[in-house]
Structure 1
Amino acid sequence: MINKKSIERYIKNLFHGEALGVDIKKLGEGVQGAGFLVEVKTRGRTMQYVIKGLFPEGLEHDYPADRAGVFLLDLEEFRNLPQHVKAVDVLSEMEDGSIKSIGGGREYYLLMERAKGKHYFNDLAAFSKKERLEPPDIEKIRSMTSYLARIHSVRKDSRHLYWRKVRDTIGHGECLMGVFDTYPDGTISYDEMAAIEKKCIDWRVRLKPKFRRLCQVHGDFHPGNIWFQNNRDFILLDRSRGPWGDAADDVTALTINYIFFSINNSGRVQGPYLEALNLFYDRYIDETGDNELFEVLAPFYAFRGAVVANPVFYPDVSTENRHKIISFVHGVLDDESFRVDKVNEYIKTR
């Protein structure tokens, strides 16, 4: 589980050459991970430390970033509780097998390339001035469906990761429950939030047997993260919450915006927005053959609906239209399977 030679080199460097010997042996393991005793001999004394590692499956320890997050919090907080052992450092094993310290940071930042182009929100806003989709609009939708069909064709066999994606969609701090917790008081009642959350938990049970749907995802395929250079080519920003999930996550992240923008413009889903919604699903299903998709969309639409109905994120939406989005969420959750031809019925359900 650990690279003993690299850790030995790290310990010797930590002691600035004063370590005469380093002995590492396994202490044991439990449900979450394993512990290793590190004995360091210097002139005149022997010191003992323990290295802990976490198993990389289940309990939300699936990705290296998950495990790093656990240990970084341990490093920060062990010292703040009386009579608790102190954490010394957080170690990262690099691609070449070397060990690097990542502990002690006050904050963490991501350095990345700059995206160039225009985000897809521009196109959605322009739909309001059109009677129907134009050829460039159609080409962009075809480009996005083809891209999603391609990445979603990469599959992985792991019920734990699928169950985690469904669970995270409901309970993660960036997803349904976390988004609801950012709503200003009075936006919707706590009881209504709870009703939506409970319906999603029922959907979680229904989706559990569908773990073979697990596939590669972007995780936040919404218009602000899709930057077009022309009518066909685009670059993506901000992949989120892990590389594996259900295709429904990416599909709803985009398509909720056809629904949201249309409601915000006219109070119902119509015109180019409805045409885009139909075109997207027709093209995507044609390219993937994933007719089962409609049976799993509901909790993902609930999360995405909660996002676009949030006045913190979208303050210019009227109260009436905000409630229509919440009604859409209820309508989709109450149906057995999502149907595009019922989208305006869902809006009227409450």
Structure 2
Amino acid sequence: MSAKTVLPAEPDPSRQLREIVEAALPGARVEEITTLGPDGGPGHDLTEKAAGYGVPRRVTVVRRDGSRQRLVLHTSTANAFGHDRRADRAAEMLLAFDTFGSIPAHVEVVDVGSLTRDGRSLSLRDAGEFYLLTTYAEGDVYAADLRRIARERRARPEDLARCEALASYLIALHGEQGAQPGSYRRAVRDLVGHGEGVFGIIDGYPDDAPGAPPARLQDIERRCVEWRWKLRGKDHRLARTHGDFHPFNIVFDGASRLTLLDTSRGSQGDPADDVTCLAINYVFFALDAPGAWQGGLRALWRRFWEVYLGWSGAAGLLDAAAPFLAWRALVLANPGWYPAVTPRARDALLTL
């Protein structure tokens, strides 16, 4: 790193930086702040590095005993390399805190933390696992409805009404376009390469899964990579999405009021993600229930598609749906996620 701009020593440096230093080194004071660039070389030849993942600042501090020490305050900026979300940038800092000490001759970590909404610093060096506290959704998951329909081999009028309500919910949700530049490309990249995407789900298959030999999974994976390039440039499809719209994340109470759980993947992406995520479950719940498809689940499948595709904003969805459908089929066929799936059902899902 090279020194680009040297700020003169100030008697009262920024409150945020001072708080960070004082918390990490009690009794120390900031003497100088220097903004560092991504390249430490003096020249400007073809090897010059123009970009980094943040704006580090060298901080010279005077310790309580009068000695001086140089530290570097690292921050992370949003960019197109997987740091566009606040959670990405937090993960980058926490991973650095957890791993810097494992590499010989590496710089040492002094602290890791966050800036609060009111501008104060909050150290996270003593943090363990993170938690999330939410409200409780009263009612039953939609999967209970689908199991009943499969068991009874018939769909009630209220089942069709709920199916229509879910399609209408997605129409309203997807009616709001995504706002973050680059988010569509990120969504498609994560669809294929994320740990929860195609690559990660396939890695979770045992080599001897009946109906899913490695060669078959490799072929599906290759086709999904090809689809990544087919979807490249379709940024106009970016919309607000739930990201994990399956029957175990959908709750209806006794009055058929809808509550959703666990929005995922940044809540922006291709609407085909949400639509295929739910639609494939109408097939899935019928696979090992003879008569369930003809008796009720087929009617829900058709009604869901009719309502959603009847919306003017659904144009182009079927042209983009294939890799999302493949991904959801891989999840449902994965014995780690659904261990009771039979080899016949797994083969049917992967054929779909």
TM-score (norm 2): 0.86
Q: Secondary structure at the match of 1:194?
A: helix
- How far apart are the structure 2 equivalents of 1:244 and 1:41? 46
Correspondence 1:169 to 2:191: yes
* Per-residue deviation, 1:198: 0.5
Aligned counterpart, 1:321: 345
Kindly state the Cα deviation for residue 269 of structure 1 after the two structures are TM-superposed: 4.8
Q: Could you tell me how far apart the structure 1 residues matched to 2:164 and 2:255 are?
A: 10
Measured in 1, the distance between the counterparts of 2:335 and 2:29 equals 62
Closer/same/farther in 2, CA of residues 20 and 145 from structure 1, 3 Å limit:
same
Percent identity between matched residues is 36
Q: Aligned in 2, Cα 1:304/1:54: closer, same or farther, shift over 3 Å?
A: same
Q: Which protein has the larger Cα radius of gyration, Structure 1 or Structure 2?
A: 2
Q: 1:289, CA displacement in angstroms?
A: 2.9
Residue 71 of structure 1 pairs with residue 93 of structure 2 = yes
Deviates more, 1:261-270 or 1:189-198: 261-270
Name the SS for the 1:84 alignment partner: coil
Question: Aligned partners of 1:99 and 1:278: how far apart in 2?
Answer: 53
- Aligned with 2:57: secondary structure? strand
Please name the residue that 2:128 is paired with: 106
1:50 aligns with 2:59: no
Q: 1:211/1:186 Cα in 2 relative to 1: closer, same or farther (>3 Å)? A: same
Does residue 1:236 correspond to 2:245, yes or no? Answer: no
Compute the displacement of 1:200 (Å).
0.5
Q: Say whether 1:221 aligns with 2:230.
A: no
Q: Which residue of 1 aligns with 2:10?
A: none
Counterpart of 2:139? 117
Q: For the residues of structure 2 that align with 1:323 and 1:306, how far apart are their CA atoms?
A: 10
User: Would you say 1:12 and 2:22 are equivalent positions?
Assistant: yes
Aligned to 2:314: 290
Q: 1:279 aligns with which of 303, 307, 312?
A: 303
Please tell me whether residue 302 in structure 1 is matched to residue 330 in structure 2. Answer: no
Deviation at 1:268, TM superposition (A): 9.0
Structure 1 CA distance for aligned equivalents of residues 20 and 305 of structure 2: 53
* 1:136-184 deviations in Å (ceiling 9; x for gaps): 1122112212221122122124452111111111111112221111112
Task: Confirm or deny that 1:270 pairs with 2:294.
Answer: yes
1:89–1:21: structure 2 CA closer, same or farther, 3 Å change rule? Answer: closer
Q: Which ranges in structure 2 are unaligned for 5 or more consecutive residues? A: 1-12, 39-50
CA–CA separation in structure 1 for the residues paired with 2:150 and 2:177: 37
Give the whole-Å Cα distance in 2 for the aligned partners of 1:238 and 1:7: 35
Tell me which residue corresponds to 1:332: none
- Could you report, residue by residue, the CA deviation over 1:283-338 in whole angstroms, capped at 9, with x for unpaired residues? 1122453121101111111110001111222222221121011111xxxxxxxxxx
Task: Name the structure where helix makes up a greater proportion of residues.
Answer: 1
Q: What's the CA shift for 1:22?
A: 4.5
TM-score, structure 1 normalization: 0.87
Equivalent pairs counted in the alignment come to 325
Aligned to 2:115: 93
Change (3 A) 1:4 1:300: farther
Residue in structure 1 matched with residue 275 of structure 2 by the alignment: 251
2:207 maps to which residue?
185
What is the RMSD computed on CA atoms of the aligned residues?
Answer: 2.0
Q: In the superposition, relative to structure 1, how do residues 308 and 260 fare at CA in structure 2: closer, same or farther (>3 Å)?
A: same
